[in-house]
A and B are shown apart, each in its own frame.
Chain A
Amino acid sequence: MSAPTQAPQPALAVEHLAFSFPGHAENSAGRLYDDFSLSVQQGSILALMGPSGSGKSTLGRIMAGILSPQAGEVRRSAEFRNRWDVVYIDQHPINSVFPWQTVARNIRYPLKKLGWDPAQRKERICYLMSLFRLGALADAYPASLSGGELQRVALARCLSWKPELVILDEPFSALDRKVKAEIIAALQELAVRDCITLVLITHNISDALALGNRCVVIGQRPVRIISDLEFSKGFPREPGAPDYAAMQQALIAGIRDGLV
């Protein structure tokens, strides 16, 4: 658990960000974000933690370019040439799929629209369908799926075109432990295989520990970084694995220190 080492080029950096929702006080004390900076290293898995209402989702949406900050900037790596290289996956998976398309079409649609050639498309779809175990559900409509199945479809769809950076907003909040573990394993495989940088927004310590290799806790208003911890790599991370308890202790201590 050393201090984060500075990579030469971050995948994405927010610098001197200021943001408040319309109707809220515009002065710097009332702002949700005021002079906030954070950078995400290429290839890392950053767990972004904070209590409910702390502005985690807002930060994720600013990073993805869905919300525009009032001041400051969001800089993407120069290697991200396309708009779709950074994707935000909503915490309700139904918002990330088209309910009028079957599971298979949901995964195929973005690839088709982004101009993948049919052979590549087919191979990628086969891989994702088996990774997320969606084969039996290919012809089902999203409305008929369970929460875990729907989350798998949303992830397969939003990771289909190999985005460079993926912001996952509370992807496990509605899932039981077993389903969560399966999805985490699939995400880890995909992140390594496609060199995807992940930002995981969560309020759950064990989720942050399971996936993250750096954990940033934010809180207070205006938002600031309360603690910033780097974890050793190496998966799977389960309670009982070496170092797990130590990592957990450090994270809890970090959160406690911040909540003064």
Chain B
Amino acid sequence: MAWSKPNARKWMLLGALLVLWAAVSGARVVDPIILPTPWSVVRAVPVMFRERLLSDIGLTLGRVLSALAIACVFGIPLGLLLGYRLSMYRIVEGPLHALRSIPASALFPLFLIVIGVGEKSVVALAAYPSLLVILVNTVSGAALSNKRRLYQARLWNLDTLDTIGEVLFYEALPRIFDGVRTAVSYALMLVIAVEMFIGLGERGLGRGIYEYQATYRIPETYGAVIIAGIIGILLNEVVTRLQNRMLRWLPYVHEEQ
């Protein structure tokens, strides 16, 4: 990666924020209970790793990825089918948008009743809005596909499976990635929120943050929050790389240097 100018500016801004944080907390302008010093957070991280941070990260990541996998496996094919048969989509469009307007977190008590307390309901709750956003994006991507190219699919008598899998999928792929990108942040947000509020047998990062805060381990709380942020950035980076790879045929996507 070249050390380009915008890149340097990005890091400079981050550095400036760190300096500001160090100055404010180091001078004790703010109570350390509210804002610990950066070095106390740095010192707390190895302690956290010695405790159970790694398994927390693993659990949270596992839940997020399971939710995303479910969302993609059902959302993309269903979205393509509905985008191909728009008359079918018009029937389900109303209920779909009604479902989408319900905040996923509001459904959590219902999920607990229907699915039961445990791993499954966490994953299901995170999968739910992720699936809907991927579905809606896939439908619009498929519906906006190039009709002149679909003429060729008809010309060669491609069956529905080939038309959807080998033509429509690629036509919709840029929009599918938009959906997946949004779904990644939904899934991470919901998994962490749900972990905080139910005591599963196993913790996860959300529960970790909650417990550190409840026991006044403030540097650890900050550390865990920052780690959650880093996980978000890394997940986004994975999607970006996948997107650049799978969409390298688009005129505006170029291989990374």
Stretch with Cβ within 8 A of A (4 or more), from B53-61, B62-70, B150-158: B150-158
**Chain A: CB-nearest residue to B151:** A66
The answer, among B158, B167, B249, for a CB contact under 8 Å with A141, is B249
**A130 to B26 CA separation, bound complex (whole angstroms):** 73
**Min distance, Cβ A186 to any Cβ of chain B, angstroms:** 21
The interface residues of chain B lying within 8 Å CB-to-CB of A66 are: 151
Number of A-B contacts (CB under 8 A): 41
The answer, among A110, A114, A141, for a CB contact under 8 Å with B248, is A141
**Chain B: CB-nearest residue to A161:** B156
Stretch with Cβ within 8 A of B (4 or more), from A7-15, A44-52, A83-91, A229-237: A83-91
Contact B249 A84 (CB under 8 A): no
Tell me whether A96 is interfacial, beta carbon within 8 Å. Answer: yes
Contact flag A113-B167 (CB < 8 Å), given A95-B146, A99-B250: no
Q: Specify the main secondary structure of chain B where it touches its partner.
A: helix
Q: How large is the interface on A (under 10, 10 to 19, 20 to 34, 35 or more residues)?
A: 20 to 34
Contact flag A88-B156 (CB < 8 Å), given A98-B170, A100-B249, A143-B249: no
The interface residues of chain B lying within 8 Å CB-to-CB of A87 are: 155
Contact B251 A143 (CB under 8 A): yes
Contact B157 A83 (CB under 8 A): yes
**Min distance, Cβ A125 to any Cβ of chain B, angstroms:** 16
**Min distance, Cβ B170 to any Cβ of chain A, angstroms:** 4
**Chain B: CB-nearest residue to A100:** B170
The answer, among B149, B156, B250, for a CB contact under 8 Å with A114, is B156
Contact flag A84-B149 (CB < 8 Å), given A100-B170, A142-B249, A143-B250: no
Contact B148 A90 (CB under 8 A): yes
**Min distance, Cβ A237 to any Cβ of chain B, angstroms:** 31
Instruction: Using A98-B149, A98-B167, A142-B249 as known contacts, list a sample of 5 further A-B pairs with CB atoms less than 8 Å apart, ordered by residue number in A.
Output: A95-B148, A95-B149, A100-B173, A110-B152, A113-B156
User: Which residues of A does B touch, CB under 8 Å?
Assistant: 66, 83-84, 87-88, 90, 92, 95-96, 98-101, 110, 113-114, 141-144
